[in-house]
Amino acid sequence: MTGKEKKKTKLNLRIKIADVIFKNPIWVASGTFGYAEEFQDFVELEQIGAIITKTITLNARIGNLPPRIVETPSGLLNSIGLENKGVRHFKKNYYPFLKKCKTRIIVSIAGADIDELKECAGILCRDQAPDAIEVNLSCPNVTHKGAKHRLIAQDADATEKVINALRKTITVPLIAKLSPNVTDISEIAVAAEAGGADAVSLVNTYLALAVDADTMKLILGKGMGGLSGPAIKPMALRAVYDVYGKIKIPVIGIGGVMSGKDVAEFMLCGANAVQIGTANFTAPDIYEKIMREFKTYLSEKKINKAVSIIGRLKGIKA
């Protein structure tokens, strides 16, 4: 009325990956949010940019010998072992609830070999396909048959082959989740792109150990585990920074995000979207806090569109 009213520009958090629009770039990582039902008391699920389910496999897996988790300095070591009841059970018991959540649902899949992956993806996409599939090529707890490297994600050729095979099987967007337990993660990212992936997400957990000096034993039942949490953020940021610019497809950042500023850090390094993982264990309602902080960060910087900070680190950029 007075003409001196400040023009309120609405914050635009939308991002696009493989022609799919996501309402915001803050997602929840596979294995840290179950199948979402457990969190509905604490988070308004529809405000989440995308929910990535716990990894499912073709057949049920019983998971690894306990103890499966232990806290380490500013981190969490886990060896869950992809425990899940199989894709058919998922479709019948968890998928209906997820489909009702008014947000993007990305299903994470894994398999011992290409055929299992293809069959799992096929069954999943048969009636009502998810908004995307994240292929877990890199979980360090899966024993891998026959290949030269311990994991698909450690082998560029295998990565390209697997993504390519899946690409031919299904039409939904494919996200390749990469492992950091490699010499050159960009090489793997390039291979995933060549295979037809629509995006890459990195990083999965780092191979690590916890020892109990008193009992003189390894703490985890399986011995080796994967490290996640704030301790790995500097390394995850480096991986995103390294990969960004070497591929044309979007990069999704994962690794120790606990705050809105952490989200911004990953996006500045080149991530289109960011996944929150271990943070969900520190407080089941942490998503809202992180989203609030991210919005505050953008307003303080007078940035209206979230996409405008992607890859926008000032100064040196290789």
Partner 1 sequence: MRQSLLRIKKQESINKRIKSKLKKTMRKQSKYIENAQIFSNEEIVRDAEHTDHFIMELIAPQISKHASPGQFVTVKVQENTTEPLLRIPLGIHDNEIKDTNKKGIKLLYKVVGDATFLLSKKKQGETINVLGPLGNGFCLDEILFEKGQTAIIIAGGHGVAPLYFLAKEIIKQREQDEAFKGNVEVFLGAATKEHVICRGAIGKFCSLGTDTIHVATEDGTQGSKGYIPKVVDRYLKKQTTDHCSRSTIYSCGPKPMLAEVARLADKYNIKAYLSLDAYMACGIGACLGCAVSTREGYKMVCKDGPVFSAEEINWEKELQMD
Task: Count the residues of the shown chain that bind partner 1, applying the rule CB under 8 A.
Answer: 38
Q: Per-residue contact track with partner 1, 194 to 233, x per CB under 8 A?
A: ---------------------x-----x-------xxx--
- Out of 38, 46, 113, 115, the only residue in the binding site for partner 1 (CB under 8 A) is 38
Q: Nearer to partner 1 by C-beta: 281 or 297?
A: 281
Single out the residue of 11, 18, 20, 69 in contact with partner 1 (rule: CB under 8 A): 69
Cα distance between residue 139 and residue 120, in whole Å: 17
**Catalytic choice (101, 125, 139, 269):** 139
What CA–CA distance (Å, rounded) separates 298 from 177?
Answer: 28
**From 24, 30, 57, 78, residue interacting with partner 1 (rule: CB under 8 A):** 78
Q: Tell me if 45 sits within 8 A of 68, measured CB to CB.
A: no
Print burial letters for 49-66: b (CB count within 10 Å at least 16), e (below 16). Answer: bbbbbbbbbbbebebbee
Of these, 17, 76, 178, 188, which contacts partner 1 (CB under 8 A)? 76
- The CA distance from 268 to 240, in Å, is 10
Q: Smallest distance from the beta carbon of 16 to partner 1, in angstroms?
A: 29
Instruction: List beta partners, residue 78.
Output: 69, 226
Is 236 among the residues that bind partner 1 (CB under 8 A)? Answer: no
Nearer of residues 52 and 174 to partner 1, judged by Cβ = 52
* Segment 47 to 66, residues that bind partner 1, using CB under 8 A: 54, 62-63, 65-66
Candidate list 113, 283, 296, 308; residue touching partner 1; CB under 8 A: 283
Q: E strands, the chain, where?
A: 15-17, 20-22, 26-28, 50-52, 69-72, 75-78, 104-109, 132-136, 174-177, 199-202, 206-208, 211-212, 217-218, 225-228, 251-254, 271-276
Is 139 considered catalytic here? yes
Tell me how many degrees the CA angle 61-50-40 measures, rounded to the nearest 5: 75
In angstroms, the CA 8 to CA 10 distance is 6
Site for partner 1 contains 285 (CB under 8 A)? yes
Which positions touch partner 1 (CB under 8 A)? 31-34, 38-39, 41-42, 54, 62-63, 65-71, 73-76, 78, 80, 83, 215, 221, 229-231, 258, 278, 280-285
Catalytic residues, by residue number, are 139
